[in-house]
């Protein structure tokens, strides 16, 4: 929340400064800003609708029930798949991860869930591909998925019980 306020303030101050220095350039900046926003808006809207639907079907309670007591590689594969496909905002994801830990999921399973959640975005892939192309998108997400297991193993070693 604080961050969002800071972001709006920064944008407001920058805009005021820009306008004071050069109104023409500022108009150009806003035109560019609107064009790039409107250009990607269909992808954004579609992805957000998809995520809203996915989160409803795969609600936090469903996820907890699915992976709550599982451990080992199958548990990691399951949590990583959930993490890779969905896009859950941090304020839901971290309490959910805490619940998973409390329900008996291993640290590795939870770490791989958090890592894939943040780095891999199957739902946002259409948007990413619009910017960087299909190949780079596929490559980045695949690498991020594999490396999430590396990170999770390290976290498991350090923070594991």
Interface region with another protein, contact rule CB under 8 A, candidates 68-76, 78-86, 103-111: 103-111
Q: 3-class SS at 53?
A: helix
Are the CB atoms for 108 and 156 separated by under 8 Å? yes
Q: Give the shortest CB-16-to-another protein separation in angstroms.
A: 11
Contacting another protein within 35-74 (CB under 8 A):
35-40, 42-53, 55-57, 59
CB 77 → another protein: shortest distance, Å? 19
> CB–CB of 92/58 below 8 Å?
no
Q: Report, in Å, the least distance between residue 19 CB and another protein.
A: 10
Site for another protein in 130-159 (CB under 8 A): 130-133, 135-136, 139-140, 143-144, 147, 150-151, 154-155, 158-159
Angle at alpha carbon of residue 109, lines to 106 and 115, rounded to 5°: 135
- Is residue 104 part of the contact set for another protein (CB under 8 A)? no
Minimum CB distance to another protein, residue 66 (Å): 17
Q: Is 109 in the site for another protein (CB under 8 A)?
A: no
Residues 13-42 that bind another protein (CB under 8 A): 14-15, 18, 25-40, 42
- From CA 141, how far away is CA 127, in angstroms rounded? 13
For the window 77-96, what string marks contact with another protein as x by the rule CB under 8 A? ----------x-xxx--xx-
One-character DSSP codes across 95-135:
HHHHHHHHTT--HHHHHHHHHHHHH--STTHHHHHHHH-HH
31: helix, strand or coil = helix
């Amino acid at each position: 929340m604080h961050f969002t306020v800071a972001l709006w303030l920064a944008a407001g101050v920058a805009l005021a400064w820009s306008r004071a220095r050069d109104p023409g350039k500022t108009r150009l900046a806003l035109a560019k800003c609107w064009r790039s926003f409107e250009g990607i808006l269909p992808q954004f809207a579609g992805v957000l609708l998809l995520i809203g639907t996915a989160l409803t079907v795969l609600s936090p309670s469903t996820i907890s029930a699915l992976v709550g007591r599982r451990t080992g590689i199958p548990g990691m594969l399951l949590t990583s798949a959930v993490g890779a496909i969905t896009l859950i905002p941090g304020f839901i994801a971290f309490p959910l991860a805490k619940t998973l830990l409390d329900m008996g999921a291993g640290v590795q399973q939870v770490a791989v869930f958090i890592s894939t959640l943040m780095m891999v975005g199957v739902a946002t892939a259409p948007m990413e591909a619009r910017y960087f192309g299909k190949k780079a998108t596929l490559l980045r997400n695949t690498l991020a998925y594999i490396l999430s297991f590396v990170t999770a193993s390290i976290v498991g070693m350090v923070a594991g019980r």
